[in-house]
Amino acid sequence: MNQASAASQSLCEDTDYIWRKVSLRLMPLLIVCYLFAHLDRINIGFAKSQMSADLAFSETVYGFGAGLLFVSYALFSVPSNLALVKFGPRRWIAFLMFVWGAMSTAMFLVTTPQEFYILRFCLGAAEAGFFPGILYYINCCFPKSYRGRITALFALAVPIAGIVGGPLSGGIIVGFHHLLGLSGWQWMFLIEGVPVVLLGVIVWKFLPDSLRCVKWLSDEEKAYALDAVNQAHEGPKASSFREIMSNKNVWLLVCIYFAVRLSVNTTAFWLPTFIHGTGIGNDGVVGLLSAIPYIFGAVFMVYMGRSSDLNDERRWHLSISLIMAATGLVVAGAFPTNTWVVMSALIVLGMGSSAALSMFWQLPPTFIAPAVLAGGLGLISSFGSIASFLAPSMIGWVRDTTQSSALALYVLGALIALGAALVLATPKEKT
């Protein structure tokens, strides 16, 4: 056996070694970046009480502004992902982080609803390409048999942001209140926004555009890795944007993702409010308690990602996660003043919504060809953002109208449960 054949056989016998190396080189930076992206989304929930009191914002103003980010997110996801393909992940992701870091930091200057709306819209436009762009990047760097756990690893930033963001945001709001004449919520936006710009510089310097240009894989390892990634691209799929738009399975995925985003964003924006509603008024305590559902969510997400890969099964993993999220919402709505019941329901909600987010993104590559995958992921992400806008807006309107969020939570729970049923309508042989 010659040296090249021996090397090839060695690689085949230890594929985990290559993917561990790729994962360790890429994922820590991507996770930290996504952590700050999600932190910039959920910190508005912790700012709500103090910010609304200072600026006299109603529940409707807050709900509309919180959700407005996802309107621009929907408008810019597809063009942003296409720009990522044109300019390369390193340049485009760094540029997005520069802009969204500046917009997030500028939130401390808000004094009117109009300023609140404008900055939230601009923040959404800047963040629009990050999540679907990184999903496209993961599909270009990892084979199908590893994507469940890798996507879960990346999406781990969501519960981590909740674990870190709750105590951090709550602590800043309480501890920095009135320091140098600024309110605690203003300090929160400053302290959590500036690091994003610095992370953009790190991305510019260290994120490779593809596995082809890295120096930490040998030529044999690169060849093996690229071949493994390309093997996952077999089978009939939508191969043009027109085919994507006319593919019924893609639109089924849009409906399912609508349910996923309902669960994720209800958790992100309203979790502190649900805890406040049980009678706990201290922002610091609320911040600590809000971390608990995310801790359970982080563990469950990793478990489901690994289980999905090992069993080569996606549909039931996603459906069960959505059913858990729906159950948590309904129970939280039914017993809004019972701390123990609400916290238990929020834990189930956190587990379900966290796992559903990572599980869902295993489905689109089975229906969309690599050449148009970036645009397809952007399209699905765009439509899912409509749900991200509707969830906080609807809850805010219902709370203003009925002084209770129960009705909104029942409706959201039903829609998420419907999404769980639609998952099982996807072709079994595909997933």
Least confident piece of the model among 13-17, 45-49, 218-222, 310-314: 13-17
Q: What is the mean pLDDT of residues 96-124?
A: 89
- Give the burial class of 16: count Cβ atoms within 10 A of its Cβ; 0-12 exposed, 13-18 middle, 19 or more buried: exposed
The whole-number pLDDT of residue 13 equals: 52
pLDDT at residue 35, as a whole number:
86
User: Hunting for tokens 């209800």 — which residue is that?
Assistant: 266
pLDDT at 41: 72
Q: What is the pLDDT of residue 215?
A: 87
pLDDT score for 396: 66
Examine residue 2 and state whether it is found in any structural domain, yes or no: no
SS3 238: strand
Residue 4 forms part of a structural domain: no
Which band of pLDDT confidence, cut at 50, 70 and 90, is reported for residue 181? Answer: confident
CA separation for the pair 104, 47 (Å, rounded): 13
pLDDT of residue 423: 92
Residue 342's CATH number: 1.20.1250.20
Q: What is the pLDDT of residues 334-374, one digit of tens each?
A: 887 888 998 999 999 989 998 998 889 888 888 887 778 87
Vertex 328: Cα angle to 262 and 31 (nearest 5): 55
Q: Which of 67-81, 113-127, 370-384 has the highest mean pLDDT?
A: 113-127
* Residue 311: its H or E element: helix 283-311
The torsion of the CA quartet 97, 99, 103, 104, rounded to 10 degrees, works out to: 10
Residue 6 is predicted with a pLDDT of 47
Residue 114 lies in a domain: yes
Q: How many domains, in total, are found in the chain? A: 1
Give pLDDT, residue 391.
Answer: 64
| Helix/strand number for the chain, H first, E second | 17, 0
What pLDDT was estimated at residue 409? 81
DSSP letter at 181?
G
Q: Is residue 93 part of a domain?
A: yes
Q: What Cα–Cα distance (Å) separates residue 244 from each residue in 83, 135, 428?
A: 18, 17, 19
Q: What pLDDT was estimated at residue 1?
A: 43
CB contact at 8 A, 392 and 269: yes
Determine the structural domain holding residue 143 and report its residue range. 11-430
Q: Which residues pair with 238 in a beta bridge?
A: 368
Instruction: Report if residue 63 sits inside a domain.
Output: yes
Distance CA(343)–CA(316), nearest Å, equals 26
What pLDDT sits at residue 4?
45
Both tokens assigned to 431: 């997933």
* CB-based burial label for 152 (10 Å; 0-12, 13-18, 19+): buried
In a domain, 380, yes or no: yes
Confidence of residue 2 (pLDDT cuts 50, 70, 90): very low
Does 397 or 262 have the greater pLDDT score? 262
- Given this model, what pLDDT does residue 338 score? 86
Angle in degrees, CA 131, 198, 107, rounded to 5: 75
Which whole number is the average pLDDT over 382-388?
73
Q: What's the distance, CA 82 to chain centroid? A: 19
Q: In this structure, which amino acid lies at residue 77?
A: S
- pLDDT tens track for 264-287: 877 776 777 788 778 877 767 877
Contact indicator for 356, 318 with CB cutoff of 8 Å: yes
Global pTM reads 0.75
Residue 87: inside a domain: yes
Residue 81's closest CA among 129, 34, 10?
A: 129
Q: Is residue 174 part of a domain?
A: yes
The per-residue pLDDT for range 229-245, each reduced to its tens digit, is 877 544 556 666 677 77
| 332 close to 276: Cβ distance less than 8 angstroms | no
215 vs 167, more confident = 215
The answer for residues whose C-beta is within 8 angstroms of residue 284's C-beta and 6 or more apart is 167, 170, 171, 174
- Per DSSP, what are the bridge partners of residue 368? 238
Specify the amino acid at residue 293: P
| Average pLDDT over the chain, rounded to an integer | 82
Q: What is the reported pLDDT for 210?
A: 86
pLDDT given for residue 395 in this prediction: 67
